[in-house]
Amino acid sequence: MSSYFNIILKDTLKPTGGPSGYLYNLNMSLETNTIKNISLLSYGIEVKSNSSKKNPLKTFIKSLKVKFLPVFLRKKYLRKKEEREYINFYSSIINKLQNSALNNFHHTKDFYFFKKLYPENRTLTLLMSHAPEPPHVELYQAYLADGYTSKKALHLSQHQKEIDISAFKSADYIIFPCHEAVAPYEPFFKENNIDTTKLRFVITSSEPLNYILSANQFKIQNNIDQSKISLAYVGRKTKIKGYDIFCDAAKTLEGDSRFTFIAAGNGAIETPNLKNLLDFGWTNDPGSILNAVDYLIIPNRDTYFDLGIIQALSLNKTLITTPTGGNRWFLNKNLDIIFFEPDVDSLVKIIKQLKKSTDNKNELFFKKYLSNEHFAINYLKLFQNIEQEQKLDVTN
54 vs 2, 51, 60, 311, 323, CA distance in Å?
40, 5, 11, 37, 47
DSSP 181: G
| Alpha-carbon span 279 to 301, nearest angstrom | 21
The model's confidence at residue 73, banded by pLDDT at 50, 70 and 90, is low
Segment (H or E) for 279: strand 277-279
Q: What is the pLDDT at residue 105? A: 98
The mean pLDDT value for 46-67 works out to 47
Output the average pLDDT for the chain.
89
pLDDT cut 90: percent of the chain above it: 74
The model's confidence at residue 61, banded by pLDDT at 50, 70 and 90, is very low
List % helix, strand, coil for the chain (3-state, nearest 5). 50, 15, 35
Task: Tell me which residue of 352, 366, 356, 350 sits closest to 309, measured CA to CA.
Answer: 366
pLDDT at 57 over 60: no
Q: What is the pLDDT at residue 66? A: 47
Task: Tell me which residue of 64, 173, 174, 84 sits closest to 130, measured CA to CA.
Answer: 174
The model's confidence at residue 234, banded by pLDDT at 50, 70 and 90, is very high
| Alpha-carbon span 11 to 43, nearest angstrom | 6
- Write the pLDDT tens digit of every residue in 156-208: 899 999 999 999 999 999 999 999 999 989 999 999 999 999 999 999 999 99
| Alpha-carbon span 59 to 94, nearest angstrom | 28
pLDDT cut 70: percent of the chain above it: 89
Q: What is the pLDDT at residue 71? A: 55
Could you tell me if residue 5 is left (phi over 0), alpha (psi between -120 and 50 degrees) or otherwise beta? beta
* Cβ–Cβ under 8 Å, residues 125 and 5: no
Q: Which residues contact 281 (CB under 8 A, 6 or more apart)?
A: 264, 265, 266
* Cβ–Cβ under 8 Å, residues 294 and 231: yes
The model's confidence at residue 144, banded by pLDDT at 50, 70 and 90, is confident
Supply φ then ψ for residue 352, to 5 degrees.
Answer: -60, -25
The model's confidence at residue 49, banded by pLDDT at 50, 70 and 90, is very low
The mean pLDDT value for 32-51 works out to 75
Task: Tell me which residue of 183, 165, 137, 130 sits closest to 22, measured CA to CA.
Answer: 130
DSSP 338: E
- Write the pLDDT tens digit of every residue in 8-38: 999 999 887 789 989 999 999 999 999 999 9
In the chain the domains, ranked by start, together with CATH numbers, are 5-47+92-205+373-395 (3.40.50.2000), 215-370 (3.40.50.2000)
